[in-house]
Chain A
Amino acid sequence: MNPLAIIGNVVITALGETGRLSLFTWRAVTHILRPPLYWRLIGQQMMRIGYFSLPVVALTAFFTGGVLALQIYYGSDQFNSESIVATIVALGITRELGPVLGGLMVAGRAAAAIAAELGTMRVTEQIDALSTLSTNPFKYLVVPRVIAAVITLPALVFIGDVIGIFGGFVVGTQTLDFNAGVYIKTTVDFLELDDITSGLIKSAIFGFIIAMMGCYQGFHSRGGAQGVGRATTNAVVSSSILILAANYVMTSLFFSS
């Protein structure tokens, strides 16, 4: 095959996909703004996406806080490390690691589950059946998931922040023999409200990305079991990459000045 044709093909496919995804996102946003909303379904999705992700996010945060404390301790001047460990654990968790790792864990759980569920509904014609029962599939399937993810992700990440800092505290006081009072005081002194809110804003965006990619891939899955499998993989991979990219963009916006 002509190499130019291959390049052209790749570019056209990429542009086409970007266009479809943009249109899909636009439709989702306009449907969120237009009543009615299915409150029952939103609640159900908040349970599935948020509540059931809590153990995963909590464990991730705890061990991340702990390992952060250890590495900072080993990497720094060990005579003077008490205040440095506490500060960097608190900032690292709230600003970056809490939202990003929390987002990635939920992407693995929720984006995959959404894509698999909607993908199966697509290939078994259940999504078409919704239309014939005068129910808008966008309103019924996409909107509740997007709203639920945007609300629950910041809540999850906030809990993750607390647990992550606690993880650092446990390792600091138990393994590294820091004074508990000094550790807590340093954390509280150095941590500012902006550190936490920036992380929560990020996580709301990540929630949007997770639900959108799960729904998009599920809605566009084709061809039976294999198609649903592909949609699930694509949802996790694309939402993970988008989370990391969006995180970089938001960090450079929030912390540039």
Chain B
Amino acid sequence: MNISVPAKDIKIELKNVHKRFGKKIVLHDLSLTIPKGKSLVVIGGSGSGKSVMLKSILGIIRPEKGSIKVDGKDVTKLSTSEREKTLRKFGMLFQNAALFDSLPVWENVAFGLIQGRNMKRKDAKEIALEKLGQVGLTTEIGDLYPAELSGGMQKRVGLARAIATDPEIIFFDEPTTGLDPIMADVINDLIVNSVQKLGATALSITHDMASARKIADYIAMIYKGEIIWAGTRDEVDNSGNEYVDQFIHGRADGPIKMDVLKP
């Protein structure tokens, strides 16, 4: 099961990726194509291998087998310095924002510009404040520390940091987890807007269907470390796949069994 687009429109391509931790198989023969300039959302339950897949593409985790190509280059075979160069194309919003708590908000946003691109602190601060404005935060927020912000604000700062370097590819790791429904929708809107504005390729992982429907062009479902279904956003309701149906309707009964004891 995969998304079919012409080879020239492929941004990221995972082929037969395997990863295990000890005896636990996390990714099992995972293949996935991410089209250029589109937003793909991977849905799946907890522990299905979503986060490991993201970290494998970023090279933070090395898979045992398979290839992961970004713009045709296999990132699993790159040297450290080449990998660092490839990572410049990426921005990422982490699940709990992962802001640096030792730095003020503006420096968090400007981090990739100052450290990664050697920009002058003054210029980087200007861009950082502009990006904070884009996610609806005032310039006063820039001088606060991450611990002084609410969860929703931290997520927005995380988003500003992810888009600060105008990346070609943006990853969103459970962008709405832990937020109230209204703030979740605010974040969804911000994601859609900023991805469109940059013309970036987006890959999100989530188990929030409302969020998936809003930000996705394509949806793929991961189950037990494998992509079991992929298609456009509108096809997800008529997938004909009982795993997908169970997941998007949130039913306890179905082919996916949870490891819980029945009362």
Q: Which residues of A line the B interface, CB within 8 A?
A: 121, 124-126, 128-129, 131-136, 140
Contact = CB atoms under 8 A, between A and B. Distances in A.
B155 to A, nearest CB: 13
B84 A133 contact: no
Given A128-B60, A128-B94, A140-B115, A134 B87 contact: yes
Nearest to A140: B115
A120 B152 CA distance: 21
6 contacts: A126-B99, A128-B60, A128-B98, A129-B99, A134-B115, A134-B117
Given A124-B98, A125-B95, A125-B96, A132 B87 contact: yes
A129 B115 contact: no
Nearest to A126: B98
B102 to A, nearest CB: 8
B112 A124 contact: no
Contacts of B98: 124-126, 128-129
A129 B94 contact: yes
A237 to B, nearest CB: 26
A133 B94 contact: no
Contacts, number: 52
Interface of B: 55, 58-60, 80, 84, 87-88, 90-92, 94-96, 98-101, 111-112, 115-117, 161, 165, 171
Contacts of B91: 132
Contacts of A124: 96, 98
B216 to A, nearest CB: 22
A134 B96 contact: no
Residue among B91, B98, B111, B112 with most chain A CB within 10 A: B98
A77 to B, nearest CB: 57
A129 B171 CA distance: 12
A128 B94 CA distance: 9
A125 B94 contact: yes
A133 B95 contact: no
A131 B58 contact: yes
Given A132-B171, A134-B87, A134-B115, 17 more contacts: A125-B95, A125-B96, A126-B98, A129-B92, A129-B94, A129-B98, A129-B100, A131-B60, A131-B87, A132-B58, A132-B90, A133-B112, A133-B116, A133-B161, A133-B165, A134-B112, A135-B111
A-B residue pairs, 5 tightest by C-beta: A134-B116, A133-B112, A125-B98, A129-B98, A132-B92
Nearest to A132: B92
A243 B93 CA distance: 41
B88 A128 contact: no
A254 to B, nearest CB: 38
Contacts of B117: 134
Contacts of B95: 125
Interface-centre pick from B59, B60, B91 (highest chain A CB count, 10 A): B60
Nearest to B117: A134
B55 A128 contact: yes
B23 to A, nearest CB: 15
A96 B171 CA distance: 54
A68 to B, nearest CB: 41
Nearest to B111: A133
A140 B115 CA distance: 9
A108 B84 CA distance: 35
Contacts of B96: 124-125
B84 A126 contact: no
A136 B55 CA distance: 15
Nearest to B161: A133
A42 to B, nearest CB: 15
A134 B91 CA distance: 9
A133 B90 CA distance: 8
B156 to A, nearest CB: 16
Nearest to A129: B98
A121 B60 CA distance: 15
A125 B87 CA distance: 16
A121 B100 CA distance: 8
Contacts of B99: 126, 129
Nearest to B118: A36
Contacts of A131: 58-60, 87
Contacts of A134: 84, 87-88, 112, 115-117, 165
B115 A133 contact: yes
B165 to A, nearest CB: 8
Contacts of A126: 98-101
A125 to B, nearest CB: 4
A6 B87 CA distance: 43
